[in-house]
Structure 1
């Protein structure tokens, strides 16, 4: 982990000279205290990222998973393209659903314009249990052109890496490939069992910019609001 000696967060906060019209002394004191916490949060996020990067090798992928994409059949190795890291986001759009999950759809929509940047570093694909024709239709209905969607028709991948019961739940998995060997690197493992009272299940940091943005407002995320497919 990081070995450099960091200045105390309170000391860094003291260098802040930002002030805004008509703010009270009470507001500034509270804001400076909050700034200390924000600096500590930034540092903790980086510590967690360092721990993640330092994980020992994950389990080798030995099963021949078969997917169907817009261009036909594909293996897990195919999904890497020319990259050494693969992110697979499994979204909630199984055959039993009339329409894809609004939360997953909102989440995926935030990545549409960022995929060209993300794909400079890694491969990023989206997998669901519905037939590929349904995935393509739903993708086009959202106006998405960059998402690489794949059907896990057999459910083999989903049962191994998302839900052993093949439940219609989301999953975020990262794989690596070195010298032809594919290994699982990391997955989001925070869910209903790890959530705190009064909160929906969420990871940390929250990868959905929707919630991160709302967290900067007085209203926050709210207790009963969720994204919809249309408004």
Structure 2
């Protein structure tokens, strides 16, 4: 293996700074692309899709769990997949391992869920074996074919307005493989990270960066009731931030 040359610390730092310029260009381009994604048109989901959950049948609207946004990953776990019924698709399993704690997405009014054709008992057994604690539903109709994930993995993003559901974005292949962090998922959504530095259309929900961040077990507690609508949670977070500032 032909490795790069060995240089002094000063030369190494100069090379790092040169590369950092290009890295910042990529970061800014990524931010601009996410801003363009937030301006994408949306298409209404008109079919009444049904899924099987651990507690019985649920609709697509119910997958949102009351939140405004929904991210759905198609996990290949079903008869015909290598390792069935003890193992899921190796690639899907790798990507499942890299998903961040869902409390942070939930705090931005966003729900993450997986769907497969495996029955619920098999899904529950695989979740227990792999240590995954995420909402996971069984496909019962043509949802996967209608949304581009019947032959390959992929991630769809949806936005809810009352009982109406809109598809806002879709990514698969290498773009899908790059997902997993809280930020990568929020950048995929119609509302984005919902922070005030973002280039978003007028009227989009936004708070200051850092203001809403919490340890994953601190978003909801007896002393900090973050439950409610997004606007109610934002107001609560701001009040908490003011109180914390007064204490310091």
Normalization by structure 2: what TM-score? 0.64
Aligned pairs for 1:2-41 within 5 A:
23-41=8-26
Q: Which moved more, 1:42-51 or 1:173-182?
A: 173-182
The answer for the alignment partner of 1:207 in structure 2 is 179
Structure 1's 117 and 37: CA in aligned 2 closer, same or farther, altered over 3 A? same
Matched position secondary structure for 1:63: coil
Structure 1's 204 and 94: CA in aligned 2 closer, same or farther, altered over 3 A? closer
RMSD, matched Cα: 2.1
Confirm or deny: 8 A CA contact 2:77 2:89 kept in the other structure.
yes
Which of 43, 51, 54 in structure 2 is aligned with 1:67? Answer: 51
Unaligned 5+ runs, structure 2: 1-6, 185-248
What are the superposed Cα offsets for residues 68-90 of structure 1, whole Å, 9 maximum, x if unpaired?
Answer: 01111000011011111111111
Q: C-alpha distance in 2, partners of 1:159/1:38?
A: 37
Which of 151, 170, 189 in structure 1 is aligned with 2:153? Answer: 170
Normalization by structure 1: what TM-score? 0.68
Q: C-alpha distance in 1, partners of 2:71/2:43?
A: 16
- Runs of 4+ displaced beyond 2 Å: 22-26
Which of 106, 113, 125 in structure 2 is aligned with 1:137? Answer: 125
Unaligned 5+ runs, structure 1: 1-21, 192-201, 213-231
Matched position secondary structure for 1:50: helix
What are the superposed Cα offsets for residues 120-150 of structure 1, whole Å, 9 maximum, x if unpaired?
Answer: 2211111011112211111111122x31110
Q: How many residues align?
A: 171
